[in-house]
Amino acid sequence: MSASANRQIAVFERDRGLPAGEVAIAFRRWNATTRRPLGNADPFYERDDTALRRDDYHVRTLLEVTLHALRGKARRELSMVVGPADERVLQRTLYNPFADPDLPWWMRRIGV
């Protein structure tokens, strides 16, 4: 990602009181989760020190909040790196018809 995008992400983290590099950690965990056998996947944070993630503490939620906070090119750049992981999740999972429809799409999927 570009230096400009990385700066915007750093400002986002600082403004929200997140540790530096938290978005990168979330991305690495989301990406790794999509590459592991589904039974071994753990896309949740161990710590729960912020309500930023809407109390679900899912790494993809942090990435989504970050995407909405970024501007223009930085948003497109992050979307381009998150997109392939999202596609892998969609390919490896099915829609859960019993999930709460108010949950984000990544929380309404079940492994197959």
pLDDT at position 110 is: 86
Question: What is the pTM (predicted TM-score) of this model?
Answer: 0.81
pLDDT at position 32 is: 85
Number of domains in the chain: 1
Q: Which domain holds residue 15?
A: 3-111
Burial of 33 (0-12, 13-18, 19+ CB in 10 A): buried
pLDDT at position 48 is: 46
The answer to whether residues 78 and 8 touch, using CB atoms and an 8 Å cutoff, is no
Flag residues of the chain having pLDDT under 50.
Answer: 48-54
pLDDT at position 62 is: 92
pLDDT at position 37 is: 61
Count CB-CB contacts under 10 A for residue 23. 25
Count CB-CB contacts under 10 A for residue 69. 18
Residue type at 10? A
End-to-end Cα, the chain, rounded Å: 33
pLDDT at position 38 is: 54
